[in-house]
Amino acid sequence: MTLAIILVIAAALALIFILGVAVSRNLQVSAKPGLAQRIQPIDIEAFRNLADPAEDDYLRRSLPASEFRAVRRQRLRAAVAYIQVARRNAAILIRVGQAAVAAGDLPTAEAARQLVRDALWLRRNATFALLGIYVALAWPHAGFAADPILDGYLHLNNSAMLLGRLQNPSAVVRISA
Amino acid sequence: MIRQVPVFFAFAILTAVADLTEYATDVIPTVSPATYWRADWANLLIQAVLKFVLVGEIFAHVFGSYESIARLGQLLIRALGVILVFAAAIAAAYASQNSPHGIISGAWLLDQTTFIVESGLLVFIFVFSLYFHLVWDRRLFGISLGLSISSCVHLASWAILGNLGALDPKRMIFVFLNMATYHAVVLMWFYYLLVPSKVAVIPAVPLPENDLEAWNRELERLVRP
C-alpha cells in the first residue's frame, strides 16, 4: 500500500506541474514589451579577470594558503554572480529570438534563429560552469572553464547586435558593458 | 499534419483499432477469458511501444533543431529512462498480487510500468524545455499535454487498482475514471489539431538601444582581442 501511495503522490505532483505549465502558457511564443529591457549588461573584462587562471596562480604564490582560499572563494562567488546574469540574459534572448522568428521577415528570422542557437549554447555552458564553480567553492584548488562562457557571450553579443540592427537599423545593441 | 507528426497518427489509429478489437473479444460470447487476456496483453504491448516512439517524436520536434541542447537532452533522457525502468521494475516486484491468475496481475503491472516510464519521460521533456525557455508548436504542445494528463491519471489509478481485490466493486470507479480521462484527452487532441489557433500578431521585441561607442568598443575587442 505504501508503494501505491508513493505512486499516487508522484502522479498527482506530475499532473499539477503539467497543468501549471499549460495554464501559465510558458511554452508559447510571447513578446512582452519590457522583455529586452530586463537584459543586464556584463563587464566582460572584469569577468575575464576573475576567471583568469594566471591571476589565480599569482594569488596562490603571493598569499598564505588560508588567505588564498578565502580570496579564491570571494572571486568564485563574484564569478557566480556574473554567470547568473549571463544565464538570465541568455534566457531573455531565447524569448526575444523566438518571438522574432515568428514575427520577422526572412533575414530577420535567420538572424533570430542564430541568436536562439547562441543563447541556448551559452545557457547550457553557463549551467556547467556554475556546477564547476560550486565544486571549486568546496575545493578552492579546483578550476572551472570560463572560456566557453566568454566566447559564447561574445557570439551572443554579435547575434543580438545583428538582430537589433535588422529590426531597427538606426539603433545599436549591446549586452556587454 | 500527418507528415509532421506521423507517429502520433499511427498511435491514434492503432490504439483505436486495438481497443475496439479488445472490446470485441470481451463481448463476443465464444471468446474465452484466456483469449481476452491474451488480446489485452497484445494491446498493452503495442500501445507501450507506440507511446515510447511517440515520446521520441515529441523530443525530436522540441529539441531537434537545437544541436547544442539536443545532445545533452538525449544523454539525460536516456539516463532517466534507465532509472525509470529500474524504478518501475522495483515497483512491480513489490506490488500486491491480487489476482490468482498471473496473466491478469501481469497485465495490470505492465500497465503500471508503462505509465511510470511514460509520465517520467514526459515530465522531463517539459522541465528541460522550460529550463531553456523553448517555445513549443501549438499542436505538439496539445499532443504532449494530452498524453501527459492521460499517463498521470492512469498511473495513479493503476497504483490503486493494483491494491484492490480482483472483484472489488470500487474497481469500476477507477476503470471509468481512466476511460473518462482518455476520452477528455481525445477531445483535447481534436481541439489542438483541428481548431486553428488565433492569428496573433507578435510585435518584434526591440533589443535595448545603446551608444555607438559601445558598438565600436565591441568591434575593437573582436579585431584586437
Does residue B96 register a pLDDT over 50?
yes
The answer to the question of residue B225 being in a domain is no
d(CA B151, CA B129): 19
* A149-172 confidence digits (pLDDT tens): 777 887 888 888 877 777 776 655
Residues of A in contact with B218 (CB under 8 A): 157-158, 161, 174, 176
The answer to the question of residue B223 being in a domain is no
The answer to the question of residue B57 being in a domain is yes
Å between B199 CA and nearest CA of chain A: 11
Q: List helix spans (H) across B171-224.
A: 171-194, 212-223
How much is the ipTM here?
0.81
Please check whether residue B119 touches A, CB under 8 A. yes
Residue B98's pLDDT band (cuts 50, 70, 90): low
- The number of folded domains in chain B is 1
Residues of B in contact with A151 (CB under 8 A): none
The answer to the question of residue B13 being in a domain is yes
Identify which of B129, B132, B205 has the shortest CB distance to residue A31. Answer: B205
Q: Which residue has the higher pLDDT, B200 or B101?
A: B101
- Set of cell numbers at residue A173: 545593441
Residue B223's pLDDT band (cuts 50, 70, 90): very low
The answer to the question of residue B48 being in a domain is yes
- Set of cell numbers at residue B11: 498511435
Does residue B116 register a pLDDT over 70?
yes
The answer to the question of residue B33 being in a domain is yes
Q: List helix spans (H) across A25-105.
A: 44-50, 53-62, 65-103
Residue B209's pLDDT band (cuts 50, 70, 90): low
Spatial CA neighbour of B114 closest among B91, B133, B141: B91
Does residue B169 register a pLDDT over 50?
yes
- Set of cell numbers at residue A159: 547575434
pTM, two decimal places = 0.83
CB A59 within 8 A of CB A68: yes
The answer to the question of residue B207 being in a domain is no
d(CA B225, CA B41): 65
d(CA B117, CA B144): 15
Please check whether residue B196 touches A, CB under 8 A. no
Please check whether residue B17 touches A, CB under 8 A. no
The answer to the question of residue B56 being in a domain is yes
Domain that holds residue B86: 6-193
